[in-house]
Structure 1
Amino acid sequence: MYRKLFEKGKIGKLEIKNRIVMVALASGVAKTDQTVGEDMIEYYLERARGGAGLIIAENTRVNDEHGVAAKRQISVARDEHIVPLEKLVNVLHAEKTKFFVQLHHPGRETYSNLNGDKPVVAPSAIPCGVCKQETRALETSEVESLIKDFINGAKRAKAAGVDGVELHAAHGYIISQFLSPYTNKRTDKYGGSFENRFNFLKEIVLGIKEACGKDYPISVRLTVDELLKLNGVKEEYLNLEMGVKVCIALEKIGVDVINVSNGIYETFNSLSEPMTYPQGTRTPLIKAVKDAVNVPVIAVNMIKEPCFAEKMLEDGLVDFIGLGRALVADPNWPKKAEEGRDEDINRCISCTFCFETLLSEVIPDVGPIKCAVNPRAAHELQYKEFNKNGNGKVVAVIGAGVSGLEAARVLSIRGFKPVILEKSDKIGGQINIADKLPNKEKIHWIVEYEKTQLNKMGVEIRFNTNASVYYLRNMKPYAVFIATGAIPIVPESIEGLNSNNVYTIDDVLSRRVNITGKKIAVIGSGASGLETAEFLCEKGNDVSIIEMQDEIGKGIYVQHYLDAMDRLSKFDIKYMPSNKLLSVTDRGVRLEKLVENKIVDYNVDYVILSLGVRSNNGMVDVFTNRFDNVKVIGDVSEVGRVESSIRTAFDAAYNL
């Protein structure tokens, strides 16, 4: 079906069984001593069994003194890492999957508490605008020593049987920092001119070729444009013209493949694109590199679907398809594509939850990453095999939102007979509202996947059905799963909220009301409030965002906040933090200006409430008092996001 995608390919003299590369993505599944353990083996083995031709291990430490990015980070900094790494190599080779490690040093993009509470190091003493750590410049002798660290790391990888190495020269880490005039202000042989800034990477490449042999494959993952223009940076930085020049220079010194990327931490949404970005967003940058070099090119490009990957290969845009989050979401993406089962792929929705948990869990060593649509990702040993002991026992699942659908899917795999009771006439719950937000169509992929799986399993869904105690007793269920979701918060204490000009964001996005060309106050600046404001602006409305807290978007994960605010910058929106809604009046809203401690009237035509949601848990006590085996999942258990809805459902159904 996808001829190009499953052709054999070559990197140097190394043959790859297909054109699918799992690119490096930190997962936090290494052991505390930075060696490979059973968690990491199972994580990568599942993706090898799923059909990936080449797997590039996540950022691999080469220096323990000042090169630490996370505590559970795979390492080749010491000889004791060789034997455990060899075990991983052997199991991947048994699946005919090739394996590289990505040699990495974070430079200024890390935290002092991970590096002995000392200043972080970089080419120059310029702190990262995101990490904001005290930063010192490396001495020339330290630079030379670090070059040897990369070379020695490659030697250890080869000793373990690893098929090749990738140098992480992307995303603003230390090699990228040396290449960029934005971060490299040195005056020795490693700074100043392009040639001098290139010396650090050049000496690493040539040193690896000398130590490991000229035929030992070297990939370079390269930021070809830092995209700092997006941040209003006027000074010189590594732009596309310079990035292509680096690629040409790399080919001349014998690099075997170039893995194209873009962005640094300060332009993070460009290197970890959120949901609103389309597939193919990096195409112009990739094409510029491909047109300039003859060595193979790997690239990620927000690829979620095999048809898009195939088109990239057909167009000659790349030689190998880079998949990161797509293989976290579904390890069997390649296998399903090869078998023509595209509809069975659990597509990544680009929610960036994996990156959010990289910051909140992996770096502080709380746990591995989490995937919103695949609870097993990086938790494969915890959920290794499904116990298929359901024996056809009936389980009533109340609610056909994503939590109810996921519970039914897992229960069916286990051999139970789930029956979904849904009060409306369609599945999806809140997703049917969320997917109406601008450029958020991907979120509906979750519902499409669940629907396909449940249809294939023959799971019964009873629409327009109210789940009463009487109704359930007639079903004689072995267990009852309550997945009735959440409902918007409409505070009874605020006067006027029952007025005809007051609506919730659900009313707006579900098209129960259509407002155009009006003056609107959106109350609340959470993620949904900001996204609904964009929706209303696109309909020609004059929008103000009123927020009681002292900042707009406080508490939103930074990627989502930056994306939302960037999109809203196209409109003339009035932001009103530190304003508390007191009441809705005939002319608009009455506010308490918290900073000035005074009450004002603000005239608007409509008021849209975005004050969050609360659990729709009114029936929980009723059912738990009358049935022995009741599971409360999703927002009914605790209001959260898509990830918690799916994870709580999966976990409850897996362990029933």
Structure 2
Amino acid sequence: MNYQHMLSKGKVGTLTLNNRIVMPAMSTNLAGPSGEVTDQLIRYYEERAMGGTGLIITEFTSIDYELGRGAVNQLRIDDDRFIPGIKRLANTIHKYGAKIFVQLHHAGRESNSMLTGGKQIVAPSPVTCEVIGEEPRELTIEEIKEIINKFIAGAYRCKMAGIDGVELHGAHGYLINQFLSPNTNLRSDEYGGSFKNRIRFLEEIIVGIKQLCGHDFPVTVRLSVDEFEKGGTDITLSREISVYLEKLGIDGLHASAGNYNTMDKVIESPLVEEGWRVYLAEEIKKEVNIPVITVGNIRDPQFVESILAEGKADFVAIGRGHLADPEWVRKVSDGREKEIRMCISCLHCMYSKGHVECSINVRAGRELEFTEMTQVDEKRPVLIIGGGPGGLEAARVLTIKGYHVILFEKKDTLGGQLNLVTDPVYKKKMKRYVDYLCHEMDRLKVDIRLNHEASVELIKSYEPYAVLLATGGVPLVPNIEGYDLPNVCSYRDIKLQSNAFYDKKIVVLGSGMVCHSTCRRLAEEGNEVTLIELPTKSGRKISPETRVRLLEKLKKENIQIITEHKVSTITMNEIFLEKKESEEKVKMAIDHVVIAMGVQAYNPLGDRLSKEMDNVFIIGDAAGHTSLADATKGGFETAYVLESLVNS
């Protein structure tokens, strides 16, 4: 496909960009403990610049570390001592022809007292954010003026550091957004009340930056065009804001959505359709002549091209897609779209502990640890048993390193449990990842043996340099009386259609993604379904926002949801429950019970093989892990350091 719009040059103010792809701000926690630029942070951004991205916007950068922080290890530009680090970052990005903006940020009421050293958080008005749960102190006029000057000073430091422009974070419920929104700005002075007064805070920041940095220094604003909250900013108000900002001389608008109370609109779950937010940018673009950036759950290059070709936006921001594959742009421009490792929207990056991570790209946030694939001296044979994500990732890395990889998969398809996803929206995203892995096997000419169940004798006959067991997992069976009755089955039986039920009373036990999709599938087939939520490892990995969305979907299917109960006994006609707090006994009439509580390790070869030969390594679910992130990490890391593991 000819991506003439996506790969064409574009302008933001006087600045020319090599293409229309933007990497938007995303928090990484890769800055130092005092907010300074680190080598790891530079390397993280460098790889995205090397990958061909036209414009990189740094993660939100604090202009007031005392009261405006939004995260631990947040990047800073509130003091001159941070200029050298920002300059090193700018110089690194510029080597590859990319441009870089710094996103200037103050959290306002969306900070918390842990980040402010115990000091009360601040806001335009003392309106508490439900998610934060701390009442903010109303800013005085003098403090407002000080914060305005801090934004201006931050922008000037960026210019001194060689940064190409700045983005003012006026979205997601942060301080600028709080001044703009009638919901959070209840002031009756010059900074509140009328539209003109509510926008004054942002106006004085913009005017101050332009006066100090010059009108040729680009300034863009990120807006929550719709906060999806009653009384907050909406499309009508944002149209008015956008027109006003253009008259002030800003150089572009970045059309986002939501705030902390509506976080599912800020960071979308895997159940959201691709590009659902594009219409927000389209509405703003109708009102202004300056460039408009669209953002939100955009993955596919053809979709990106259509957005630009149809004039719905001038630039497209791809956030998590850049975590999954830093070379997204380069692969498109080289005609290698099938090699793109597309984001699956799993939200692992949002809820990983410590620095940013990606469930399908182990190197994200760890680029300095894995700098190059060291080639081995001779083409040694390595056997991989299992064609799930862990085994396939190991096969990919080992082949790149020069090993002769033979992968045995007992079924007729690759992908393992990834193929069990049935939700239509999520399945499409997961299929892209499975297709990527399969394409990599073809591209790298990995020796794949489908419909081959490996035995110890077969493995030994190859005299391999090493063996990686990635045999996966089997459905976890809880220790509940009656679990082995004929009216009890696992989620896998439903997914693979081994069991088909119609017009039955079915209870599903579990809490993870697979559990929820199983419930919906059974309901869609005409069954009366009840979900009894039981704690599982996979359930704990679901973000609060995704869980809410999942439960909403279940309710739309008239699925009953029971929480805070434990299951004591299953019979052929009933299931017996106990309330956790009162221990009150409850019983329900049933036809069938479906257990969807995740997986347990399946490793039939490990013990014997380890006794009979050296260099046997277990990865993925077979090693007791339960997530895609763990499986990918195990496969990548084991393959990356295999020589060291063998020689240790």
> Could you state the TM-score of these two structures normalised by the residue count of structure 1?
0.94
Residue equivalent to 1:78: 79
Aligned-residue offset at 1:640: 2.4
Alpha carbons of structure 1 residues 408 and 434: separation in structure 2 relative to 1, 3 Å: same
> Aligned ranges for residues 518-537 of structure 1 at < 5 Å?
518-537=504-523
The yes-or-no answer on 1:474 pairing with 2:461 is yes
- Which amino acid is 1:481 matched to? L
> Aligned with 2:114: secondary structure?
helix
Q: Could you tell me the percent identity over the aligned residues?
A: 40
Residue equivalent to 1:308: 303
> Aligned with 2:577: secondary structure?
strand
Alpha carbons of structure 1 residues 299 and 490: separation in structure 2 relative to 1, 3 Å: same
Alpha carbons of structure 1 residues 441 and 588: separation in structure 2 relative to 1, 3 Å: farther
Contact 1:590 1:601 in 2 (8 A): yes
Alpha carbons of structure 1 residues 279 and 204: separation in structure 2 relative to 1, 3 Å: same
> Aligned with 1:371: secondary structure?
coil
Unaligned runs of 5+ in 2: 643-648
Contact 1:166 1:219 in 2 (8 A): yes
1:510 to 480, 486, 496: 496
Residue equivalent to 1:280: 275
- Which amino acid is 1:265 matched to? Y
> Aligned with 1:4: secondary structure?
coil
> Could you state the TM-score of these two structures normalised by the residue count of structure 2?
0.96
The yes-or-no answer on 1:444 pairing with 2:444 is no
- 1: CA distance between counterparts of 2:391 and 2:460? 19
Aligned-residue offset at 1:188: 1.6
- Which amino acid is 1:254 matched to? G
Alpha carbons of structure 1 residues 445 and 390: separation in structure 2 relative to 1, 3 Å: farther
> Aligned ranges for residues 84-163 of structure 1 at < 5 Å?
84-163=85-164
Alpha carbons of structure 1 residues 341 and 593: separation in structure 2 relative to 1, 3 Å: same
Contact 2:409 2:452 in 1 (8 A): yes
> Aligned with 1:321: secondary structure?
strand
Residue equivalent to 1:174: 175
Residue equivalent to 2:235: 240
Residue by residue over 1:1-44, the C-alpha shift from the partner in whole angstroms, topping out at 9 and shown as x without a partner, is: 20111111111111111111111111122222322221111111
Deviates more, 1:56-65 or 1:438-447: 438-447
Residue by residue over 1:199-242, the C-alpha shift from the partner in whole angstroms, topping out at 9 and shown as x without a partner, is: 111110001001101121001011011012xxxx4xx2211111
Residue equivalent to 1:249: 244
> Aligned ranges for residues 41-440 of structure 1 at < 5 Å?
41-228=42-229, 233=230, 236-357=231-352, 361=353, 367-389=354-376, 391-435=378-422, 439-440=426-427
Contact 1:527 1:553 in 2 (8 A): yes
- 1: CA distance between counterparts of 2:255 and 2:578? 51
Unaligned runs of 5+ in 1: 362-366
> Aligned with 2:556: secondary structure?
coil
Residue by residue over 1:360-415, the C-alpha shift from the partner in whole angstroms, topping out at 9 and shown as x without a partner, is: x3xxxxx3100111111111001111111162111111100000000000000111
> Aligned with 1:114: secondary structure?
coil
Aligned-residue offset at 1:268: 0.8
Residue by residue over 1:487-518, the C-alpha shift from the partner in whole angstroms, topping out at 9 and shown as x without a partner, is: 11123x43433333222111111222222332
> Aligned with 1:60: secondary structure?
strand
- 1: CA distance between counterparts of 2:403 and 2:481? 49
> Aligned ranges for residues 613-628 of structure 1 at < 5 Å?
613-628=599-614
- 2: CA distance between counterparts of 1:309 and 1:578? 44
Aligned-residue offset at 1:437: 6.4
- 1: CA distance between counterparts of 2:436 and 2:293? 28
Alpha carbons of structure 1 residues 553 and 480: separation in structure 2 relative to 1, 3 Å: closer
Aligned length: 640
Residue by residue over 1:419-443, the C-alpha shift from the partner in whole angstroms, topping out at 9 and shown as x without a partner, is: 1111112111111112456643211
Let me know the Cα RMSD of the aligned residues.
1.8
- 2: CA distance between counterparts of 1:285 and 1:547? 36
1:485 to 452, 459, 472: 472
- 1: CA distance between counterparts of 2:578 and 2:257? 45
- Which amino acid is 2:591 matched to? D
- 1: CA distance between counterparts of 2:586 and 2:155? 66
Aligned-residue offset at 1:549: 6.5
- 2: CA distance between counterparts of 1:423 and 1:572? 38
Aligned-residue offset at 1:465: 1.9
Aligned-residue offset at 1:625: 1.7
Residue equivalent to 2:571: 585
Residue equivalent to 2:4: 3
- 2: CA distance between counterparts of 1:125 and 1:171? 18
Aligned-residue offset at 1:548: 5.1
- Which amino acid is 1:565 matched to? L
Residue by residue over 1:532-563, the C-alpha shift from the partner in whole angstroms, topping out at 9 and shown as x without a partner, is: 2122222232111123569x967742122122
- 1: CA distance between counterparts of 2:576 and 2:122? 52
Contact 1:437 1:509 in 2 (8 A): no
> Aligned with 1:569: secondary structure?
helix
- 2: CA distance between counterparts of 1:600 and 1:204? 61
Alpha carbons of structure 1 residues 618 and 437: separation in structure 2 relative to 1, 3 Å: farther
Aligned-residue offset at 1:280: 2.1
> Aligned ranges for residues 455-474 of structure 1 at < 5 Å?
455-474=442-461
Alpha carbons of structure 1 residues 577 and 302: separation in structure 2 relative to 1, 3 Å: closer
Residue by residue over 1:155-205, the C-alpha shift from the partner in whole angstroms, topping out at 9 and shown as x without a partner, is: 000000111000000111111111111111112211111111101111100
Aligned-residue offset at 1:595: 4.2
Residue equivalent to 2:645: none
- 2: CA distance between counterparts of 1:265 and 1:67? 15
Contact 1:438 1:534 in 2 (8 A): no
Residue equivalent to 2:587: 601
Contact 1:436 1:509 in 2 (8 A): no
Residue by residue over 1:243-301, the C-alpha shift from the partner in whole angstroms, topping out at 9 and shown as x without a partner, is: 11111111010010001000001111111111111112012212111111111111114
> Aligned ranges for residues 625-636 of structure 1 at < 5 Å?
625-636=611-622
Residue equivalent to 1:640: 626
- Which amino acid is 1:383 matched to? F
- 1: CA distance between counterparts of 2:500 and 2:246? 57
> Aligned with 2:109: secondary structure?
coil
> Aligned with 2:529: secondary structure?
strand
